[in-house]
Amino acid sequence: MDFQQLQEKIDYARNTSHSQSPLEVDDFKKLLQQRTEDDESYLTYIDEDDNRVEISYSEFYQHVLGCARFLQNHGLRHGDRIATISHNHWHTVIQYYAAWLLGLVVVPVNLGEDDERIAYILENGNVELAFVRTEYRERFRKILESYGYLKHIEWIVCEGKLENFTRDQGELTLPEDSLAESESLIVFTSGTTGAPKGVVLSQRNLLEDARSIAQWHNIDENTRMMCVLPIHHVNGTVVTLITPFFAGGSTVLNQRFRASRFFEIVRDEKVHIVSMVPTLLQYLNSYYEEKQRPKTPSLRHVICGAGPLTVKVAETFEDEIDVPIIHGYGLSETTCYSCFVPVDIDRDEHNKWRSDYGYPSIGIPVSANEMAIHDEEGNELGENERGEIVIRGVNVMLGYYNNKEANEETFKNGWFRSGDEGFYINDEEGRPYFFITGRLKELIIRGGVNLAPLEIDEVINKAPGVKAGIAVGFENDWYGEEVGAYVELEEGAEEDEEAILAFCREHLPFSKSPKVVVFGDQIPVTSTGKYQRRKVTHHFKEWKDVQFRK
């Protein structure tokens, strides 16, 4: 299809008519200006040593203005891109909002990636300036030295002082027009071919999804949320930074998740809602298996998504921890969440949708979008029929950056195609509860992070004694999915699992490396020669409850 046809399909999938209610505040400039004189707490930051910083909305706004002056003084204008090389930190939140105030685009960098992948993201994201926390300055310097085509990037080391990246004095010229459709965030997510795809989100995308999340979870100016997920990912950013800001509430930003301190911080900070992934639920299940957890009377529920949640993990958490899980589903391509299990159903109804169908339900569509199940030809399927989960609405991305082929495939039928297989069942009111049964795409989702199996295949096939091998995502109670290797050996080679695993860990980060090896006579393929990974996942069942550590 030509460019115009493709753009029409993307525009149709993003049409506001697919949303149940429009935004009143559609860009960050307007949203920030609503908070200029609000002295209520917005952000509390707790580092891994339990040092605590709390700032109000009005203080935050002044810091954002200062960072915006800094960026403008460095010659950045509407549409330019900045990167953040950081762990969770309140300074990084200021940098995000300052960029959005000016209509700049944030390219967050996941430091769990290897240097080559980070260089790819910086180049393909057209980054002009990077904010680098001092802990990562030497690594970042080496990346710039190793990849000469990045030498143009200006980088600012953030050594713990606001003065490093803010200016109290000087002019600040803000764009006069609405920034609603401006690019605001490019999140690079793994594709099945291994090359990351840049998901481009507008300011409207971020605020529409925040509005829907706030509506669903009854988040208002009295609600206190907590972020334990990395803010280089849409879940941490949209659910627990933007949503409470949109609603006028407050949030507690943790430098990192700590099972030993989780409930104590919830209790001490009087947190109402936390956003998590299944891996963290399992960590808490394990940590408190034989311990008494602190009482947390303020905690209403936890939001959970971004990876496969098993019935067992959900039941254990709700029965032993005694906190409801509001399970949901979404992707970076739909900004964050597209559906949730209702908050207001009774316990029996909640348990039914959690446990009675083999998979915990991901819930009902939020107001920003519609959802359906399609067959391969794009025809809509009915209740209990399995097909691809598709989504359309105002939270659907602008598209993949500079990737016409991926956009054509993803928007082929005028909906966003998720690549996930699922079905729905209507409740007594006729509301569709959706379920995920697997993936049509071959991505492995480990701890909420997408891994491309073809990238891992390349390493497995170079390991000693391997004739052919594939990466397999298998069900795991700790990470939702873990990485295994299914291997066919060269003639005469011995089954040396440790040698293969050691080779893979030499060439891949631990998160991507296979944790176990299963040896077989032949790797199953389709008639066109494509690997059928799902046909060998059953060989990895015995490692379902194992936690693999470095």
Residue 475 belongs to domain with CATH number: 3.30.300.30
pLDDT digits (tens, 9 = 90+) for 9-68: 888 788 877 777 666 778 999 999 998 889 999 999 999 999 999 999 999 999 999 999
* Rounded Cα gap, residues 376 and 379, in angstroms: 7
The contacts of residue 34 (CB under 8 Å, 6+ apart) are 25
The residues, any chain, with a CB within 8 Å of residue 452's CB and separated by 6 or more, are 190, 191, 192, 193, 194, 195, 443, 444
Query: Which of 413, 441, 469 finishes a domain?
Result: 441
Give the rounded distance of the alpha carbon of 358 from its chain centre. 25
Q: What is the pLDDT of residues 72-107, one digit of tens each?
A: 999 999 999 999 999 999 999 999 999 999 999 999
The residue-averaged pLDDT of 339-351 equals: 96
CA angle centred on 197, ends 196 and 203, rounded to 5°? 130
245: in domain: yes
Residue type, 450: N
Indicate if 323 and 250 belong to the same structural domain: yes
CB atoms within 10 A of CB 248: 18
DSSP 3-state of 311: helix
Q: What is the three-class DSSP state of 338?
A: strand
Number of domains in the chain: 2
The reply to whether 345 and 456 lie within a common domain is no
Instruction: Enumerate the H helices of 190-255 as residue ranges.
Output: 203-216, 234, 243-247
Mean pLDDT of 182-201: 84
Query: Are 326 and 301 spatial neighbours (Cβ–Cβ below 8 Å)?
Result: yes
Q: Does pLDDT of 194 surpass 70?
A: no
Sign of the four-CA dihedral 173, 201, 244, 258? negative
Question: Is residue 303 located within the same domain as residue 449?
Answer: no
CATH of the domain at 272: 3.40.50.12780
Query: Are 285 and 320 spatial neighbours (Cβ–Cβ below 8 Å)?
Result: yes
Residues above pLDDT 90, as percent of the chain: 71
Same domain flag for 369 and 482: no
User: How large is the average pLDDT for residues 105-127?
Assistant: 93
For position 191, what pLDDT does the model report?
A: 58
Neighbours of 220 (CB within 10 A): 11
178 found inside a domain: no
Task: Provide mean pLDDT across the span 132-157.
Answer: 95
Burial class (CB in 10 A: 0-12, 13-18, 19+), 346: exposed
Would residue 451 count as lying in a domain?
Answer: yes
**C-alpha to C-alpha distance for 470 and 473, rounded to whole angstroms:** 10
* Residue 224 sits in the same domain as residue 337: yes
Sequence-separated (6 or more) residues with CB below 8 Å from residue 198:
121, 124, 125, 186, 187, 188, 400, 401, 402, 403
Cα dihedral 85, 86, 92, 96 sign: positive
Q: Do 259 and 297 share a structural domain?
A: yes
Q: Residue 224 sits in which domain range?
A: 201-394+404-441
**Both 320 and 223 in a single domain?**
yes
Mean pLDDT value of segment 255-276: 96
CB 71 within 8 A of CB 98: yes
Backbone angles phi, psi at 429, to 5 degrees: -90, 0
**Pair 483, 434 in one domain:** no
Task: Mark whether 246 and 333 lie in a shared domain.
Answer: yes
Q: Is there a domain that residue 449 lies in? A: yes
SS (H, E, C) 64-120: HHHHHHHHHHCCCCCCCEEEEECCCCHHHHHHHHHHHHHCCEEEEECCCCCHHHHHH
In a domain, 75, yes or no: no
pLDDT at 193 over 60: no
426 and 537, same domain (yes or no): no
Q: What is the pLDDT of residues 277-315, one digit of tens each?
A: 888 898 899 899 888 889 999 999 999 988 778 888 899
Q: Is residue 387 part of a domain?
A: yes
Residues 274 and 300: beta-carbon distance below 8 Å: no
| Among the ranges given (190-204, 235-249, 331-345, 429-443), the one the predictor scored with the smallest mean pLDDT | 190-204
Structure token digits, residue 196: 């990351």
pLDDT tier, 438 (very low <50, low <70, confident <90, very high otherwise): confident
pLDDT tens profile 483-534:
999 998 988 899 999 999 999 999 999 999 999 999 998 888 754 455 788 8
Do residues 379 and 469 both lie within one domain?
Answer: no
Q: What is the reported pLDDT for 535?
A: 86
Asked if residue 380 and residue 456 are part of one domain, the reply reads: no
Instruction: Based on DSSP, count helices (H) and strands (E) in the chain, helices before strands.
Output: 16, 25
pLDDT at position 451, please? 84
Return the bridge partners of 187, or none: 199
Domain for residue 253, yes or no?
A: yes
Residue 317 covered by a domain = yes
DSSP 547: P
